[in-house]
Amino acid sequence: MKASLVWSLAIALGSVQLCAASAKLFSRRWEDVAEKHSWVDVPRGWEYVSPAPADYEFDMRVGLKQDKVDDLTATLMETSDPTHAKYGKHLTVVEAEALAAPHPDSVEAVDAWLEDHGVPPANVVRSTGGGGWVVVRVSVAQAERLLGTKYNVYHHTASSERVVRALSYSLPRELHPHVDVVTPTTYFGTPHSMRRTSFLQPDRVLQPTTKDGGARADCASVITPACLRELYNTASYVPRATNVNKLGVAGFLGEWANRNDLQKFFAQFRPDAVNSSFSTVLVNGGLDNQNVPGVEANLDIQYTTAMSFPTPNIYYSTGGSPPFIPDSQTPKNTNEPYLEWLSFVLSRNKSEIPQTITISYGDDEQTVPKEYAVKVCNLFAQLGAVGTTVFVASGDSGVGGGDCLTNDGTKKKLFQPAFPASCPFVTVVGGTHKIPETAVDFSGGGFSRYFGTPAYQNVTVAKYVKGLGTTYAKLYNPAGRAYPDLAAQAYAYQVIVGGALQYVAGTSASSPTVAGVFALLNDFRLASGKPSLGFINPLIYSTASKGFNAVVSGSNPGCGTAGFPAKAGWNPVTGLGTPDFEKLQKLI
């Protein structure tokens, strides 16, 4: 054999061996795995049912790390700071999405990992609007191999909902710097299992009200749009920017706002709004069943429209996949409420995104995996960066509902902050009642264990914490994001549900009310040729802090304690206080 031929064969053989070695090395690249998140026990309220069928299919979302998220939040703070040169210079949707996008290396790493596991490119979709998500159609068996976990069916006793979830999951160590979170895995929240922030008051005897609902004094015993409009000084303002200004209500509880009930509500409490309505946008399989009016949905939309009329209102009906059915092989989503709605809104044109949005639900922060909470909170920052003010109800459990025990295996009694109220990029609304206003005892409030105290709160929160001294020192995190930021009436709201007048209470009444006030402030700015307010927290804690009525009495008991006391200045029951529209007009 000629030497050249021998040499050629040697090269060819070496190349084959090298390729085989490379392939083996490439495969081993993903074998070094580490746990991403796990629960010690099945989350409270859920119970194990059975192993999930191996061939059950669902959409798995891989949340890639956002390469410039620090730049996004820094920009948000600059454009939200009334003393900064960039104040009010909100980003376009495209600009915000660029800052929320993942690094190309992260995209490449996740693609290689999926390819190594035999996931065909046709099963991979890249979502828009929500800061870098890869959506992968997989079976339970495939997901278990990808994530080194075991999926089971779990039952939520309160809502009777069944979901497919895992108690832990892992990723190759190489992917940890590239991936924030994978869902559905260890986050058990669903549109039907989240805690409502409103409740009926069937024991109250309905008080007679005048045709227009009475005046400010009525707020001492019964809440109507007229008393709120007078109490918060919006009654004389006539909106002028209704061609561009919008107010949004995020609905997640399997409820629908009823148009007939709204007309009856207007006829009794806001006659000049009769025949006006709201639009409904369906998100992620959401429905609009006008035969089944929802208390929460009706409360939200009746008071946002009544407070902001004639500003256009949008009700977002966000669905989730139906409860797990053993023989169902075709669910298209994963039951998780935050991600679908935020991704949807952030993928819209800027002209379609409301300048003001209110959200009336939440859950204990400790039930949400931290990585998931951070990812969702960053999406709220992205929404604020494009000029939207997001209000969130603070919750109806004071400093914590139930036994307040931690779910980390230690079962330690601690105050339980709520999420998304604990996110520093939303504006949280607590509750008051009576005249003069005092803190209502169920008003949610406290300090996050996931998020640190944001700069805009440093001075006011430090002052309150110093005043507490050693009180509750071991029950809360004094270095955490503190909430609520503001407050409004939360008791004895008159709402039409199924054609009948009912009393409803909760901070999910307070949040739509404050959202209505700020929707009018946005109208005032837009009509004056100025940009929308956007993320308002840096503003309200500084140059606009005098635009609120301080609430100095009451507390929010819970966890076997009297809770935090309301005091002058900021407090973790009613925040900075309740809004005064006319004062705020002059300050913004």
pLDDT for 19 equals 46
Q: What is the DSSP letter of 506?
A: S
pLDDT at 331 over 90: no
For 204-238, the pLDDT digits (tens) are 655 544 444 445 667 888 999 999 999 999 999 99
* Positive or negative torsion for Cα 179, 185, 191, 193: negative
3-state helix, strand, coil in the chain (%, to 5): 35, 25, 45
In a domain, 210, yes or no: no
Q: Does one domain contain both 164 and 251? A: no
Q: Is residue 230 part of a domain?
A: no
* Region for residue 45 given its phi and psi (left: phi exceeds 0; alpha: psi -120 to 50; beta: otherwise): left
pLDDT (mean) for 179-186: 95
Cα separation, 100 vs 108, in Å, equals 17
* Integer CA distances (angstroms), 465 to 357, 427, 477, 549, in order: 30, 20, 10, 21
Answer yes or no: do 143 and 252 share one domain.
no
Number of domains in the chain: 2
Q: pLDDT tier at 22 (50, 70, 90 boundaries)?
A: very low
pLDDT for 452-496, tens place per residue? 999 999 999 999 999 999 999 999 999 999 999 999 999 999 999
Q: Is 296 a catalytic residue?
A: yes
Residues 149 and 254 in one domain: no
Share of the chain above pLDDT 70, in %: 87
Would residue 79 count as lying in a domain? no
247 and 174, same structural domain? no
Query: Is position 75 within any domain?
Result: no
When pLDDT is averaged across residues 552-573 and rounded to a whole number, the result is 97
Do 170 and 251 sit in the same domain of this protein? no
pLDDT confidence of 255, banded at 50, 70, 90? confident
137 falls within a domain: yes
pLDDT at 321: 52
Residue 542 annotated as catalytic: no
For the stretch 496-545, pLDDT in tens is: 999 999 999 999 999 999 999 999 999 999 999 999 999 999 999 999 99
For residues 267 and 224, give the distance between their C-alpha atoms in angstroms, rounded to a whole number.
Answer: 13
Structure confidence at residue 9 as a pLDDT band (50, 70, 90): very low
Neighbours of 212 (CB within 10 A): 14
Q: What is the signed CA dihedral for 373, 297, 269, 547, rounded to 10 degrees?
A: 0
Query: What DSSP line would sit under 427-493, residue for residue?
Result: EEEEEEETTTTEE-TT---EEEEEEEPPGGGHHHHHHHHHHHTTTTTTTS-TTEEEE-SEEEE-S-E
d(CA 479, CA 439): 23
| CB-based contacts of 338, cutoff 8 Å, min separation 6 | 376, 379, 420
Q: What is the pLDDT of residues 381-438, one digit of tens each?
A: 999 999 999 999 999 999 998 889 999 989 999 999 999 999 999 999 999 999 999 9
In a domain, 10, yes or no: no
pLDDT of residue 10: 45
Told to judge if 351 belongs to the known catalytic residues of this protein, a careful annotator would answer no
Query: Does position 128 have pLDDT exceeding 80, yes or no?
Result: no
Cβ-contact 415, 476 below 8 angstroms: yes
Quote the pTM value: 0.91
344 and 413 belong to one structural domain: yes
Q: Are residues 115 and 37 in the same domain?
A: yes
pLDDT of residue 158: 82
Q: Provide mean pLDDT across the span 172-191.
A: 91
Range of the domain at 146: 33-67+102-183
- 282 and 172 share a domain? no
Average pLDDT, the chain: 89
Region 344-355: mean pLDDT is: 95
DSSP 174: G
Asked if residue 244 and residue 178 are part of one domain, the reply reads no
Q: What is the CATH number of the domain that holds 482?
A: 3.40.50.200
The answer to whether residues 173 and 303 belong to one domain is: no
pLDDT of the residue at 330: 41
Read off the pLDDT of residues 54-88 as tens digits, 9 standing for 90 and up.
Answer: 999 888 999 999 999 999 999 999 999 999 999 99
- What pLDDT, on a 0 to 100 scale, did the predictor assign at position 544? 98
Residues 255 and 178 placed together within one structural domain of the fold: no
**SS3 assignment, position 168:** strand
Q: 571 in a domain, yes or no?
A: yes
pLDDT for res 20: 43
Higher pLDDT, 462 or 362: 462
Of 485, 493, 581, the C-alpha closest to 199 is 493
Active-site option among 255, 300, 363, 371:
300
Please give the helix or strand (H or E) that residue 166 lies within, else none.
Answer: strand 161-166
| pLDDT of the residue at 334 | 54
**SS3 assignment for 186-234:** CCCCCCCCCEECCEECCCCCCCCCCCCCCCHHHHHCCECHHHHHHHCCC
Strand partners, 61: 135, 183
Which of these, 181, 177, 153, lies nearest to 169 by C-alpha position?
181
Catalytic-role residue among 67, 81, 218, 296: 296
Residues 265-287: tens digit of each pLDDT: 999 999 999 999 999 999 888 88
Whether residues 309 and 176 share a domain: the answer is: no
Catalytic residue among 80, 193, 508, 511: 508
Residue 343 lies in a domain: yes
Tens of pLDDT, residue by residue over 366-378, are 989 999 999 999 9
